Amino acid sequence: MQIKLIPLQMHGDERGSLIALEQDKNIPFEIKRVYYLFNTVEGVRRGFHAHKNLSQVVIAVRGSCRFLLDDGKEKINLLLDNPAQGLLIESAIWREMYDFSEDCVLMVLANNFYDENDYIRNYDDFLKTYG
């Protein structure tokens, strides 16, 4: 499994910092949905699903969290803690997020609108299809 971390160019001066997100420039797809996770309860894991067709870029805008990414053959754990870096998660990747810092805000950009039929929420079903 190849994990792609996308560098996001930071602009700033003594007033602060700014990062622009632009489809087909630093985000490799048309952005159709944006959402963010925050106030995550300590010790809680999130995710526990894969998508059949959806691609996403995840950015830890504030704080940090860990990801478990699984393509059915290999598992990778990584820490996302840099607001100037996006994690590209393509379809057919099982994902779990955990160890959220108290101040964590995770922003997710997706290439399609919400569609419950695109989710694989059972790990055994995921392995039958992609393992």
The strand ranges marked E within the chain are 4-7, 10-13, 16-19, 33-37, 46-51, 56-62, 65-70, 75-80, 85-89, 94-98, 105-110, 119-120
Cβ within 8 Å of residue 59, ≥6 positions away: 8, 80, 83, 85, 86, 87, 106, 107, 108, 109
51 flagged as catalytic: no
**Catalytic residue among 49, 68, 82, 112, which?**
49
Task: Give the active site residues.
Answer: 49
